[in-house]
Structure 1
Amino acid sequence: MDLSQAIEQASAFVIPGFLSGDEALTAERRKNEEAISLLTDAWMSAPAGSEPFSFDLVRNLADRNRAICDSFGIERLRNESGTSLARRLSDEDLIRSVAVLQHRPVEEVRRSAGPQARDLNVAYVEAPVSGMICGIDLETTDRYPDRGYIVNVGMEFVKLAPKGKAERGYVAYCGLPDIYEEKGVPLSEVHHISWGDLAGKLPFRENRDLQKAILSSLETFPFMAHNAAFEDSWLMLNLDGYAEGRKAGRIIPIDTRDICRRIDPEYRTLPHDSRPATLENWARRRGTLKKDEKERHLGLEDVDLMFRTVEAEFAARNMF
């Protein structure tokens, strides 16, 4: 598929409910997902102001693809890989996040980080961190943002300090198509969100007030998330205006998982299969989660745990 074919696929008038049979649904889904990946890359790499199409085209195609997945049966796609979830933030994103935390020029941090940001661990501790940060955590029904839905959003704001106090915590639940009342909420074994939590709630894509509030927060403050590539990927295809703000540099993600991997000295001594960079295990090492406690996997609770843990790490490394 080339760019013109991807635009044609996204612009086609297709009503998912009119497709029937596994073969037709699978073929349409795969074309949609290939087009979403190609269109996203083309739009993000185009010079600002010279994009060949509005990013609404991509978000709308992702909406259509979710309906296809619902018809096919999202549970049947659980082990099939997709392309809409980034594995990590780019080196440039990580360098920029350090610069924002330390209020330093990006070029200065880039010089310290070196080629492929190999020495970013050095840059992290070269200057003190400070400022107001927005924390966000999303709970979803799938791994891939062009297949599933956002069902829970947690946000908190913290002024970074040795014992920074979180303020203005916010939580929202978002509805699902009616078919999930009978089928059950996907991934409920992880986040424990049931249909009762979501019944009568507007879906995330339809909740314009929620979208405006989130976008305004993310454009006002840098945002932190543990494995921020996850939130970044989901917001790209679900939050109106996010891709535009991200490309323009108004939205700056900060990945606390990368912070853990770079500056926690214990991380390098622990076996990989013990998952030392997960929020739960990192929090236990920093004493912000007791040994017999578990991560809640709910938006606001996880944001609060993340902030307490990253501040404990910053304090231990004399970064304030």
Structure 2
Amino acid sequence: MDLSQAIECASAFVFPGFLADDASLAAERSKNEEALAVLRDAWSSAEPGHEPFGYDLIMSLADRNRDVCDRYGIGRLRDASSPNLARKLSEADLVRACATLQHRPVEQVAALAGQGAADLNVAYVDAPVSGMVMGIDIETTDRDPARGYIINVGLEFMTIEPDAKPHDAHAAYFGLPQMYEQKGVPLADIHKIQWSDVEGKQPFRENKAIQKAILTAMCAYPYMAHNAAFEDSWFMLHVDGYAEARRAGRVLPIDTRDICRRIDPEVRTLPRDSRPASLENWARRRGTLAAGESERHLGLDDVDLMLATVLAEFSERNMLE
């Protein structure tokens, strides 16, 4: 599919309700997701101010694709690849995150980090970290942001310093299409969110006030998330204005999972299949989660755990001012 075809696909008036059979729905989803990939690549590679279309075209196509996936049956796509989910943040993002926490030039950190940011662990322990961050975690109904919905958000703020405590916590549930009252909330086996939690709640994509508030906070402070590429991928297709602010450098995600992998020496000695950089395992090693406890997989609870654990790691490595 070329760019003109992708724009035509995104601009077409399609009513998913008229696509009655599985073959038509599967074909429509495949076409939508191919078009999304082409459009996102064209938008991100264009010179700022010279994009061939507005980012709202991408957002509207993603919204339409969720409806198609609902009708096809999102459970049947559970094992399908997620083309809109990034596996990790870019090298530039990771270097900039370190530089921001250390309040020093990106070029200085990049020089220490070396080619491919292979020595970013060296840069992290080379200078103290400090400053205000926002911690955020989302719960969703799928891994792919063009297929599922954000149904829970938890966030709070913390100044990185010895004995810091998070403050100004916020948590909210968001609604789903009515069909899920009977189908059940997808991925409930992980996040434990039931229909009663989301019933009557406004869907996240319709809640423009929440989107604006989250984006405003992200533009004020860097945000931390464990595997931040996940939140970043979802915000790109669910928060109006996020993609534009991200591209302009006004939003900076900081991945605490990458920080764990970089500066916790135990990660290199533990079996890879034990997932040593998972939040739950990392928190147990730092004493922020008791041996008999488990990660909640619910927005604000996970943010609390993440901030406490990254602070404990910074303290363990003598990185606090």
What is the DSSP-based 3-state SS (H/G/I as helix, E as strand, rest coil) of the residue aligned with 1:293?
coil
Q: Is the 8 A contact 1:219 1:250 kept in 2?
A: yes
What is the DSSP-based 3-state SS (H/G/I as helix, E as strand, rest coil) of the residue aligned with 2:37?
helix
Match of 1:304 in 2: 304
What is the DSSP-based 3-state SS (H/G/I as helix, E as strand, rest coil) of the residue aligned with 1:65?
helix
Match of 2:132 in 1: 132
Match of 1:55 in 2: 55
**C-alpha distance in 2 between matches for 1:52 and 1:247:** 15
Specify the code of the residue in structure 2 equivalent to 1:74.
I
TM-score, scaled relative to structure 2 = 0.99
Q: Is the 8 A contact 1:162 1:315 kept in 2?
A: yes
What is the DSSP-based 3-state SS (H/G/I as helix, E as strand, rest coil) of the residue aligned with 2:176?
coil
CA distances 1:142-169 after superposition (whole Å, capped 9, x unpaired): 0100000000000010000121110000
Match of 2:275 in 1: 275
Match of 1:91 in 2: 91
What is the DSSP-based 3-state SS (H/G/I as helix, E as strand, rest coil) of the residue aligned with 1:88?
coil
> Shift in Å at residue 39 of structure 1?
1.0
- Written as runs of structure 1 = structure 2, the 5 A alignment for 1:145-294 is 145-294=145-294
Identity among equivalent pairs (%): 66
Match of 1:65 in 2: 65
- Structure 1: segments with no counterpart, 5+ residues: none
TM-score, scaled relative to structure 1 = 0.99
Matched, 1:143 2:135: no
CA distances 1:278-298 after superposition (whole Å, capped 9, x unpaired): 000000000000000000000
Q: Is the 8 A contact 1:191 1:298 kept in 2?
A: yes
**C-alpha distance in 2 between matches for 1:215 and 1:19:** 35
Matched, 1:31 2:50: no
Q: Is the 8 A contact 1:162 1:314 kept in 2?
A: no
In angstroms, what is the RMSD of aligned CA positions? 0.6
What is the DSSP-based 3-state SS (H/G/I as helix, E as strand, rest coil) of the residue aligned with 1:301?
helix
Q: Is the 8 A contact 1:151 1:176 kept in 2?
A: yes
Specify the code of the residue in structure 2 equivalent to 1:173.
Y
Specify the code of the residue in structure 1 equivalent to 2:277.
A
Q: How many residues align?
A: 320
Specify the code of the residue in structure 2 equivalent to 1:210.
I
What is the DSSP-based 3-state SS (H/G/I as helix, E as strand, rest coil) of the residue aligned with 1:151?
strand
**C-alpha distance in 2 between matches for 1:292 and 1:124:** 31
Match of 2:316 in 1: 316
Match of 1:114 in 2: 114
**C-alpha distance in 2 between matches for 1:67 and 1:278:** 32
Specify the code of the residue in structure 1 equivalent to 2:248.
A
Q: Is the 8 A contact 1:162 1:312 kept in 2?
A: no
Match of 2:78 in 1: 78
**C-alpha distance in 2 between matches for 1:312 and 1:149:** 32
> Shift in Å at residue 181 of structure 1?
0.5
